[in-house]
Structure 1
Amino acid sequence: MRLLMIAATIGLWPLMSMADTATDTVVSASTVTEWKAVYGRIEARDLVPARARIGGTLVALSVSEGDLVEAGQTLGQVYDQKLDFQLSAIDAQLSALQTQLGNAQAELTRGESLLERGVTTAQRLDALRTQVGVLEGEIAATGAQRSVIEQQAAEGAVLAPTTGRVLNVPVTKGAVVMPGEAVASIGGGGFYLRLAIPERHANALAEGAQIVIDSAGQPASGTLVRVYPQIENGRVIADVEVDGLSSAFVDARVLVRIPVGERAAITVPVVSLITRSGMDFVPVRDGDDVVLRAVIPGDVQGDVVEIVTGLAVGDVIVPADGECCDE
């Protein structure tokens, strides 16, 4: 109570110096942005799993959580021993077919010689040619089967589907994996902030609005690029793009302030505030005198500060120069 009485006495105490009326400022109401503080979560634009293309044993794994990878980079190797056995069987078939083809070609050459001497018939020679053609076709088909198995063996390499950061590796070296099973999850395509905003502010959200962000203690700004129409658990989901957003910790929470409306408020220049005995004052003209009016300041926006109470529209503020504000 004693402090309040002292403050009231100081506030009504006429100041000895008179300010220049040419530089006085008349208090008027201005429109300020209403901000809502929420937490956003850093997420990857694309979350793509790196999958095993064949089943087998994971014999090599070269990445772990947090590693940066390039598209097409080998992340691991899946080995299936059955493919080696199939290749060996096909090689044996090809060897047998090659031997049969050699014998059939020798018979065809001999038949052509006998036909020239009139010892054999043209029908027999056609049969020999047919046999050579059949064997050549079987060799080509078996070679194609071998190419298929070689391709399957080559697909044992697990490749990164996109450039980004490894977010999750759910398997370990030596594990048995099935075709299509995820070996790692890659977050790529850039990172953005995903917000969950109370639905009462849904109509105030507009794409393209500027968002104030406190990232790792450093102020930054972003752009609201998408507002999703579906409301989940009383929350509106929205995405914010931020240049240079840190991706060291995905799903990290970041404090964000979003504009949810506008209201009328009284603002004065920050330099007009005078702090004495822990209280804030503004020099105001009262007739021919200048007095210090006790005020309660609010948020500071640039070079102006909002006055919650203590001033009214029409008050005349005197510049807080040196002589005006000395006791």
Structure 2
Amino acid sequence: MMKTRLALRLTPLFAAVLLAACGQQQGGPGGHAGGPPPVSVAPATQREVQEFDEFTARLEAPDTVEVRARVAGTVEAVRFKEGQVVKKGEPLFTLDARAFKADVARAEAQAAAAKTQAELAKAELARAEKLVSANAVSVQEIDQLRAALRSTESNQKAAEAALVQARLNVEYANVTAPVSGRTSRANVTPGNLVGVGDPVLTTLVSSDKVYAYFDASEATYLKYMRAAKPAATAVQMGLSNETGFPHAGKLDFVDNRLNPATATIRARAVFDNKGGAFTPGLSARIKLGGGSAYTGVVVPDRAITTDQTHKIVLVVGANNIVQPRPVTPGALIDGMRVVDGLKAGELVIVDGLLRAFPGAPVTPQVLKVDANGMPIPVAPAPAASK
């Protein structure tokens, strides 16, 4: 009897404590007393979309030439300033050419002697052919004279070729720029003996244009190959110390096969470098236009969540009831994600996703959006003065 009375007394007390605890939980910091939880929503925006892909590239010069000597000799002079921009044909190094000039004089003499021998053989053959009708010379002698003429003519051609080679050696003693571009440091100084092709005298890189090489994935390659005019694809570039992509160029080369080890394909963009702003070897960021523009619906990327294996957004519908909406995400452009499965103007929850449950009501706060559809945060309310 005593236990029954004690239980009757404790039951109202326990109920009061439980109700108080529930009231604290609802009105505490994590709850929203007096109504559905608040969330921030923004309308899905329909706008023109231009997709881009970004890559990391390395700059290279169209022409890179290792300048080497084509004849052996002693360096007499270095005729350029290191790092100087030179034009094609300008002198870079001068080698001692006295021995080559002596070879030219000797070859000229040999060529003249061979020419004289050929003229003599031709004259002898002509006289002998006049005597054939009088039977003054035999047919055998005529054949021998003709053979002698052919031999002297061959000797004349060989002497003339040797003369050309000797004159080329004199020309090669003056090492000139094979292309227009910027020089590197001079690897040899006057007085050093250099051989044919060794060592590298200097390095020359062309500077009027610059190539940006980058690797694209197989999916990216297939996407651009489906474009109507892949050659007209817009390419922009930015260096590591630049904001955005201020330099415009064009795509001019795509390799003929994918690398099976990396499943990527090498591509190249070309940019004008007449101002000399780009140096080969620099890293760069490439922005490649993904075909023609189209109209699409975009939402903030943070509004997209995952429901098991599907991507969804939470939409506030009639009577402020939360509705899950499956979407197919597309390109990400400046924080906005292109989606398929939404209509423009539908209110999407962007903040407070953890407080929203499908089928439950919420208290939406509609945010304003900028020109790109990105929600503008609400400015905090000013603190009340005491």
Whether 1:164 aligns to 2:172 is no
Structure 1 residue matching 2:220: 3-state secondary structure: helix
The equivalent of 1:203 in structure 2 is: 222
Q: Which residue of 2 aligns with 1:11?
A: 39
Q: How does 1:20-59 map to 2 (within 5 A)?
A: 27=44, 32-59=49-76
Gaps of 5+ in 2: 1-27, 114-157, 225-229, 301-314, 321-330, 348-365, 371-375, 382-386
Q: Which AA in structure 1 matches 2:44?
A: V
Match of 1:217 among 229, 238, 242: 242
**1:176 corresponds to 2:207:** no
Out of 180, 192, 197, the residue aligned to residue 211 of structure 2 is: 192
| Structure 1 residues 84 and 169: alpha-carbon distance in aligned structure 2, compared to 1, 3 A threshold | same
CA deviation profile, 1:156-194 (whole Å, cap 9, x unmatched)? 110112211225755554141216975333222521211
**How far apart are the structure 2 equivalents of 1:53 and 1:194?**
32
| Matches of 2:379 and 2:277, distance apart in 1 | 50
Q: How does 1:72-91 map to 2 (within 5 A)?
A: 72-83=89-100, 86=103
Pair 29,89 (structure 1): closer, same or farther in 2 beyond 3 Å = closer
Cα distance between partner residues in 1 of 2:181 and 2:167: 30
Cα 1:153/1:65, change in 2 over 3 Å: same
- Cα deviations by residue, 1:202-261 (Å, 9 ceiling, x for unpaired): 212333211232223142233222212133453311111234485552121112233468
Q: Which amino acid aligns with 2:281?
A: D
Q: Residue 315 of structure 1 corresponds to which residue in structure 2?
A: 346
Pair 1:252-2:300 in alignment = no
Supply the AA of the counterpart residue of 1:177: G
> Where does structure 1 lack aligned partners over 5 or more consecutive residues?
14-24, 98-140, 269-283, 290-297
Q: Cα–Cα, structure 1 residues 175 and 202, in superposed 2: closer, same or farther, change >3 Å?
A: farther
Contact conserved, 2:101 with 2:167, CA < 8 A, in 1?
A: no
2:254 maps to 227
Larger strand share, 1 or 2: 1
CA distance 1:89–1:308, change in 2 (3 Å): closer
The answer to whether structure 1 residue 66 and structure 2 residue 83 are counterparts is yes
Matched AA of 2:95: V
Amino acid at match of 2:279: F
CA distance in 1, matches of 2:88, 2:29: 68
Equivalent position SS for 2:210: strand
The AA in structure 2 aligned to 1:195 is F
CA distance in 2: counterparts of 1:194 and 1:168, whole angstroms: 26
Which protein is bigger by CA-based radius of gyration?
Answer: 2
Distance 1:148 1:300, change over 3 A: closer
The answer (yes or no) to whether the contact 1:224–1:240 under 8 Å persists in 2 is yes
User: How far does residue 77 in structure 1 lie from its aligned partner after superposition?
Assistant: 1.0
Task: Please give the alpha-carbon distance, in whole angstroms, between the structure 2 residues aligned to 1:308 and 1:62.
Answer: 60
Aligned residues: 240
* Structure 1 residues 315 and 53: CA distance shift in structure 2, 3 A: same
- Contact 2:296-2:338 within 8 A present in 1 as well: no
Amino acid at match of 1:241: V
**Do 2:209 and 2:272's aligned partners in 1 also have CA atoms closer than 8 Å?**
no
- Work out the CA distance in 2 between the residues paired with 1:82 and 1:236: 52
Q: Distance in 2 between matches of 1:143 and 1:243?
A: 46
- Please tell me whether the aligned partners of residues 70 and 163 of structure 1 are also in contact (alpha carbons under 8 angstroms): yes
Q: What's the secondary structure of 2:266's corresponding residue?
A: strand
Cα distance, 1:148 vs. partner? 6.6
Q: CA RMSD in A?
A: 5.0
- Counterpart CA distance in 1 for 2:160 and 2:380 is 100
Q: Is the 8 A contact 2:79 2:93 kept in 1?
A: yes
- TM score, norm. by length of structure 2: 0.47
8 Å contact kept, 1:29–1:267? no
2:258 match: secondary structure: strand
TM-score in terms of structure 1 length: 0.54
